[in-house]
Amino acid sequence: MANDEHVAMLKQGVAAWNAWRYQNPNIRPDLTNADLSEATLSGAKLAQANLREADLSGANLREADLSGADLRQADLRQAGLRGATLSEAYLFKADLSGAYLSRAKLIAAHLFKADLSGADLRGVNLFAARLVDTDLRDADLTGCFVYGVSAWGLKLEGAKQQNLIITNLAENEPEITVDNLEVAQFIYLMLNNQKIRDVIDTITSKAVLILGRFTDERKAVLDALREELRNRNYLPILFDFDKPTSQTTDETITLLARMSRFVIADISDAKSVLQELRAIVPDLPSVPVQPVITVTQGEPGMFDFFHNFRSFLKVHHYNNQQQLIADLGERVIDPAEKWRSRTRTRRR
């Protein structure tokens, strides 16, 4: 429970409280579970205070200093925190829904599982803040400073995320803004880390997705395809569709195809691949798909559907693994590369 003397001192008013804090710098105020709802605490010096589970709903905390305060599970619903300092404050499961935090400082604040739904966060400084499983639904994050933010498992449905500043203005870096909090840290790393840029360039310029069935016989063909693509300086990606399809499978195949230069799909004994191609061909018209199949098998009836799309190239029939590898450059890679080149030319 709260220290009654500390609560009584705070209720004497902000001026008396701040004077007491100045005279007693080594005392950490204990306001645990204190009922401070609707209190007028504008400009109050509450740094390092223990406000765990305190009721501050509707309180006026404008420009208050709450740096380093323990606000675990505190009730700050609809609280006025404009311009307040909450740097390094611990806000685990704190309820800040509908709170007014514009221009507040949340530098290195701990916001694990905090509820900021519907909060006004315009222009808030979130430098190095830790947002894990934080609820930001319907919050307004316009113009926030998000350099160094750690963002994991956020709830962002309905959130306004415009002009988020991802650069460190303290180091005189040019201002760069994005409109998505979850990708802000990735974009910054991409801009400032050459190794990450090299990885992305490698993936987008060299990746080739290989689809097929992973029985012993068919996998030998896919492995040979992979090895030959490596020899030709491509980055082969193999995906096993022998398992039952699911929404997660569709999402994975679509993501891998988006990152790929082209797709090679071995349809031999692999009906499931045809189903997965439906997640690629209609929705990714910029990614050429080169189907291959053994000469002993006829083209599946579903090919009639795929032939309606220009990115689905002419089927290459092969007798055996050796012939497929021998024909790979002229009959598989070249058609895909030429299709990409023609498509890019038409776009220009």
Kindly state whether residues 17 and 163 are assigned to the same domain.
yes
246-261, pLDDT tens digit by residue? 556 677 788 888 888 9
For Cα atoms 243, 297, 306, give the angle at the middle one, nearest 5 degrees.
70
Kindly state whether residues 173 and 311 are assigned to the same domain.
no
Does 262 fall in a domain? yes
| pLDDT reported for residue 197 | 66
For 223, the domain range is 205-347
Instruction: Tell me how far the alpha carbon of residue 24 is from its chain's centroid.
Output: 45
pLDDT band at 136 (very low <50, low <70, confident <90, very high): very high
Kindly state whether residues 110 and 49 are assigned to the same domain.
yes
Does 84 fall in a domain? yes
Q: Regarding beta strands 150-152 and 316-318, do their DSSP bridges make them parallel or antiparallel, or are they unpaired? A: unpaired
Does 60 fall in a domain? yes
| Number of domains comprising the chain | 2
| Mean pLDDT of the 170-184 span | 82
| pLDDT reported for residue 199 | 67
The stretches of the chain forming alpha helices (DSSP H) are 4-10, 14-23, 181-192, 194-206, 216-231, 247-258, 271-277, 303-306, 321-327, 334-347
Kindly state whether residues 160 and 273 are assigned to the same domain.
no
Kindly state whether residues 185 and 244 are assigned to the same domain.
no
Kindly state whether residues 112 and 152 are assigned to the same domain.
yes
Does 238 fall in a domain? yes
Has residue 338 got a pLDDT over 90?
Answer: yes
Evaluated on CA atoms 32, 113, 159, 165, the torsion sign reads positive
| pLDDT reported for residue 170 | 77
57-78, pLDDT tens digit by residue? 999 999 999 999 999 999 999 9
Higher-pLDDT residue of 199, 97 = 97
Q: Which of 144-158, 203-217, 299-313 has the lowest mean pLDDT?
A: 203-217
| pLDDT reported for residue 241 | 52
Kindly state whether residues 280 and 323 are assigned to the same domain.
yes
CATH number of the domain to which 228 belongs: 3.40.50.450
Has residue 245 got a pLDDT over 90?
Answer: no
Counting Cβ atoms within 10 Å, is residue 77 exposed (0-12), middle (13-18) or buried (19+)? buried
The last residue of one of the domains, among 160, 192, 224, is 192
Has residue 111 got a pLDDT over 80?
Answer: yes
Listing DSSP states for 99-159 in one string gives -B-TT-B-TT-B-TT-B-TT-B-TT-B-TT-EEES-B-TT-B-TT-B-TT-EEES-B-TT-
Has residue 346 got a pLDDT over 70?
Answer: no
pLDDT band at 132 (very low <50, low <70, confident <90, very high): very high
Expressed in angstroms, the distance from the first to the final Cα of the chain is: 70
- pTM attached to this predicted model: 0.66
Helix (H, G, I), strand (E, B), or coil: what is residue 278?
coil
CATH number of the domain to which 8 belongs: 2.160.20.80
| Mean pLDDT of the 33-40 span | 95
| Mean pLDDT of the 99-127 span | 98
Nearest to 75 by CA among 30, 36, 47: 36
Kindly state whether residues 241 and 102 are assigned to the same domain.
no
Kindly state whether residues 118 and 247 are assigned to the same domain.
no
Kindly state whether residues 212 and 313 are assigned to the same domain.
yes
